[in-house]
Structure 1
Amino acid sequence: MATKPIAAITGLGFSTLSREPGMSARRLACDAARAASLDSGQALSSIDGLLLNRSPIEPHETLPLTVQRDLGLHDLGLLASIEGEGSSVVQMIQIAALAVNSGMVNRVACVFADAPIRPAVNSGQTFAIPLPLTGIEGWEREIGLFGASAAFALVASRYMNLYGANEEHFGAWAIAEREWAMRSERAFLRTPLTMQDYLASRWISRPVRLLDCAYPVNGAIAFIVSRADEAAAAPAPAYIHGMGQGHSGCRGFGALEPEFDNGAEQAGRTAYAMAGIGPADISSAQFYAPFSCAGLVAVENYGFCKRGEGAAFVADGNTRPGGSLPTNTGGGMLSGYYMQGATSLSEAVIQVRGEGGQRQVANDLVLATGLGGRQEHHAALVLSPHGRL
């Protein structure tokens, strides 16, 4: 049965992306929102909804609701700051799609902005904070477990222990993303990467190496979400055909493998069912994978191979240029840039619109995902250039 879209992404806008201290996240957000509106072919004043997302480690005043005033927007029918950890950007699009589909609003700007690199503070220092894993107040700080790299090192270690993966399997993920980055004008790391280079990179939190880690930048990315019936008049709409979320919660350490049973499968299953498709129908995947191990787990949880087979799937070249599942085609978060969920979603929109240049791949159905915390929070979208599947 043919399925009609829920809504469409009709505009995509970037601020300047930089590894140097500079403008505030608030100012960057305004630049991206204006660029997205211009890209959509509609005036900024036509926006009647605004959703904002900042990094979860930043205070509210980093990106306050008064961004509405900064943009000169009036009489909004929807205004909120969305917090779903790293799944927030995809969640913003989902909320906007539901709002326009219901008739509550017509056009929603969804904006993510972050500026972790500041004078005398680099991105590593910004993210080197305790990441709660146990629910025991202060436990992580007391034992010296700092930053997402330490938390995901537990994921990588568990994966290696259960499924026999080795360092080269994680290296294969990083190398594949670098190969895509070499084809992208926006990617920050574009020099060739060999396995020898990867294995020579220093440990951050064993078994996570420097080249397993995301590459943060300062910047903002914005999306305009419109009604599906309005989208046909847009220059290059990306229709939203499926969406889902999954939040596993904590069932107790004895009954849960949080590294793997984490909600991603639920998010994907819901999005696929809504679109009336399955994983085999996906043309390319844009995963939220801030560490190599998260990429291996993602290809399993979203149904592209069985549990424990992700390492071999990646090592066999399936995610590389020319592979069976072109993945993170802008260079991903390791070699492209880390703008949280906006990294994967923006590349999904670029691919759907056929604007990937040297990295363009088949674009009938593109999967974009978000991931938050230590993989507790997941959201997914299925996008297509087609108004009907």
Structure 2
Amino acid sequence: MTASRQGYDGIVATVPVTIPYVRYSIESAHWWLGMALGALIRQAGIAKTHIDGMCVSSFTLAPDTAVGLTQHLGMSPRWLDHIPMGGASGVIGLRRAARAVQAGDADIVACLAGDTNHVDSFRHTVSQFSRFAQDGVYPYGAGGPNASFALLTRHYMNASGATREDFGKLCVAQRDNALRYPHALMKKPLTLQQYLDARAITEPIHLFDCVMPCAGADGFLVMREARARELGLPFVRILSTLERHNAWMDDPIQTRGGWTMDRDSFYAHAGVGPQDVDFMQAYDDYPVINLMQIEDLGFCDKGDAPQFVRDHSFTVDGSFPFNTNGGQLSVGQAGAAGGYLGMVEALRQLTGQAAGTQVSNAKIGLVSGFGMINYDRGICTAAALLARSDA
């Protein structure tokens, strides 16, 4: 029997920062993470020594982990976590930082994610990503996420009746949102016809189904509400979170994620349902995982996401605002910061700081994370329900 979960009362997230993404960078991951830390300190109006906890996510920080980074940054935290969980890192960082502050193990936690992108960084990252893939997949020439997501996408299309037009509608809507977001690397409008005509990468994956690796960093702070008020910082309340790893391991190929194992308790803990969510930020390295998250988090029944896509616009000013800054497919994927992209956007939305991407009267947002893809599945899933301070 699972014990009842403690709430997050009095613990808040604040100060979303983004270090503008670039396609390639000669700087190290340490530099990008340091830039994010500096931005957090300046925007919060605090001293570096006031930050006594850190969560760090990065693929290109090696040979360092979060421990090595503390020396580079001149930090001496009393609580530290290294979260190498890719697209789930932002939610899991929030979740663990909140519990650390709640327990008194830290007063202010800086959650940081960032990566560099040298000309050959992505190939190196993919080659070292997973022992499972090295042993079981690469000898057959199927390395990298494109082949894995082609497998998942084709299987999903066969099972649900989804079409490339359905995936394309989401990509086009996200690009429309990205044109309102200053940090998006994709600056040109995208039409459905352009999406459909794009060159094939690994069928049925085509060019605009794939994220573009880049360099960048994102971050936010977690602290007590009283401290945020004392500092005059707009903040977001944490209603509920979940994380689940290696879910449904007996499924021959992934058709559902760990969200489905904990969804009911996730919403019950928050005291809200899917119908109360004003926007959704989903991890979106490929469109198929967007549809899976929409289903698995209860916005429609399993297999019905294609029709859900046909019924909604997904734009900032339309129905079911989704990846309101454009998501990774139009902003870029700055390595592990891809798992933070939706989180910092949600914090901006719920503190009225989203500028051109602002959803009118947004009170409750959902952030979903998905990470660490092996051959036929992603093994990390996470989600958070967040609320405006007065909601």
Q: Distance in 1 between matches of 2:156 and 2:189?
A: 27
Question: Which among 357, 378, 382 is matched to residue 379 of structure 1?
Answer: 382
Q: What are the residue-to-residue correspondences of 1:176-215 with 2, within 5 Å?
A: 176-215=173-212
Question: Which among 23, 34, 40 is matched to residue 19 of structure 1?
Answer: 23
Contact 2:8 2:98 in 1 (8 A): no
Identical aligned pairs, as a percentage?
29
Question: Which among 316, 320, 326 is matched to residue 315 of structure 2?
Answer: 320
The unaligned stretches of length 5 or more in structure 1 are none
Give CA-to-partner distance per residue, 1:87-144, whole Å, 9 cap, x none: 12221111110000111211011111111x21x4264x355548769x5862211221
Q: Distance in 2 between matches of 1:244 and 1:6?
A: 19
Question: Which among 45, 62, 66 is matched to residue 60 of structure 1?
Answer: 62
Q: Distance in 2 between matches of 1:114 and 1:349?
A: 21
Deviation larger for 268-277 or 31-40: 268-277
Give CA-to-partner distance per residue, 1:338-362, whole Å, 9 cap, x none: 2321111111111111112222103
- Paired residue secondary structure (1:23): coil
Gap change, CA 1:34 and 1:267, over 3 Å in 2: farther
Matching residue of 2:367? 368
- Report deviation, 1:20: 2.3
Matching residue of 1:9? 13
Q: Distance in 2 between matches of 1:20 and 1:130?
A: 20
- Report deviation, 1:247: 2.2
Q: Distance in 1 between matches of 2:339 and 2:351?
A: 19
The unaligned stretches of length 5 or more in structure 2 are 1-6
Deviation larger for 210-219 or 269-278: 269-278
Give CA-to-partner distance per residue, 1:32-72, whole Å, 9 cap, x none: 011012222322221111121112xx463255413223333
Gap change, CA 1:127 and 1:269, over 3 Å in 2: farther
Question: Which among 339, 347, 350 is matched to residue 349 of structure 1?
Answer: 347
- Report deviation, 1:224: 0.9
Amino acid aligned to 1:109:
A
- Report deviation, 1:276: 1.0
Matching residue of 2:4? none
- Report deviation, 1:270: 3.8
- Paired residue secondary structure (2:71): helix
- Does 2:32 correspond to 1:69? no
Structure-2-length-normalised TM-score: 0.89
Question: Which among 288, 305, 308 is matched to residue 310 of structure 1?
Answer: 305
- Does 2:278 correspond to 1:297? no
Amino acid aligned to 1:79:
L
Matching residue of 2:39? 35
Matching residue of 2:104? 103
Q: RMSD between aligned alpha carbons? A: 2.2
- Paired residue secondary structure (1:295): helix
Q: What are the residue-to-residue correspondences of 1:107-186 with 2, within 5 Å?
A: 107-115=108-116, 117-118=117-118, 120-121=119-120, 123=122, 125-126=123-124, 128-129=126-127, 135=132, 138-186=135-183
- Report deviation, 1:287: 0.4
- Report deviation, 1:209: 0.9
- Paired residue secondary structure (2:222): strand
Amino acid aligned to 1:78:
W
- Paired residue secondary structure (2:322): coil
- Report deviation, 1:289: 1.3
Gap change, CA 1:31 and 1:131, over 3 Å in 2: closer
Q: Distance in 2 between matches of 1:37 and 1:23?
A: 21
How many corresponding residue pairs?
376
Gap change, CA 1:187 and 1:244, over 3 Å in 2: same
- Does 2:241 correspond to 1:243? yes
Contact 2:66 2:80 in 1 (8 A): no
- Does 2:48 correspond to 1:48? no
Contact 1:130 1:140 in 2 (8 A): no
- Report deviation, 1:171: 0.7
Q: Distance in 2 between matches of 1:162 and 1:369?
A: 23
Gap change, CA 1:215 and 1:292, over 3 Å in 2: same
Matching residue of 2:270? 275
Q: Distance in 2 between matches of 1:270 and 1:250?
A: 18
Q: Distance in 2 between matches of 1:178 and 1:31?
A: 27
Q: Distance in 1 between matches of 2:130 and 2:161?
A: 27
Structure-1-length-normalised TM-score: 0.90
Matching residue of 1:263? 258
- Paired residue secondary structure (1:157): helix
Gap change, CA 1:52 and 1:296, over 3 Å in 2: same
Q: Distance in 1 between matches of 2:128 and 2:302?
A: 29
Contact 1:243 1:272 in 2 (8 A): no
Q: Distance in 1 between matches of 2:167 and 2:296?
A: 17
Gap change, CA 1:168 and 1:225, over 3 Å in 2: same
Give CA-to-partner distance per residue, 1:187-222, whole Å, 9 cap, x none: 111211111100111111111111011122211112
